[in-house]
Amino acid sequence: MDKETFKSLMTFGAIVGASGLIILLFSVNIGLGLSHSWLNSQGGMADTHLFETVTKSYTNAIIIIGGVLFALGSAVITAVQFIDRLKTPV
């Protein structure tokens, strides 16, 4: 693997992984923001239990997205390093 490809794949993995980690860390705030947006689209009033369910659903979806991005970034970094070590003569 040439240095330019190695560098670009490592950068891609780091950006995707860091994005996933940031999304994971702020998942509650993002979920609350989305649920407040949903509440406004409902006219500003909804049952408390329904609002809580919507908030949990949005938060769980954000956690899944962040987890997938973090795992993808980590897998890319690990795979690139593994492939690079296989191709490097000892």
* Per-residue pLDDT, 12: 97
Q: Vertex 35, ends 34 and 37: CA angle to 5°?
A: 65
User: For the residues 31-56, what does the mean pLDDT come to?
Assistant: 95
* Per-residue pLDDT, 23: 97
User: For the residues 53-59, what does the mean pLDDT come to?
Assistant: 97
Interatomic CA distance for residues 56 and 50, integer angstroms: 10
* Per-residue pLDDT, 1: 75
Interatomic CA distance for residues 85 and 62, integer angstroms: 35
What type of residue is 62? I
pTM here?
0.86
What is the percent of the chain where pLDDT is above 90? Answer: 88
What does pLDDT average to over the chain?
94
User: For the residues 28-50, what does the mean pLDDT come to?
Assistant: 95
Taking the alpha carbons of 6, 8, 10, 13 in that order, is the dihedral positive or negative?
A: negative
Residue 50 has pLDDT above 80, yes or no: yes
- State how far the alpha carbon of 51 is from the alpha carbons of 2, 28, 59, in Å: 52, 14, 12
Contacts of 48 (CB under 8 A, 6+ apart): none
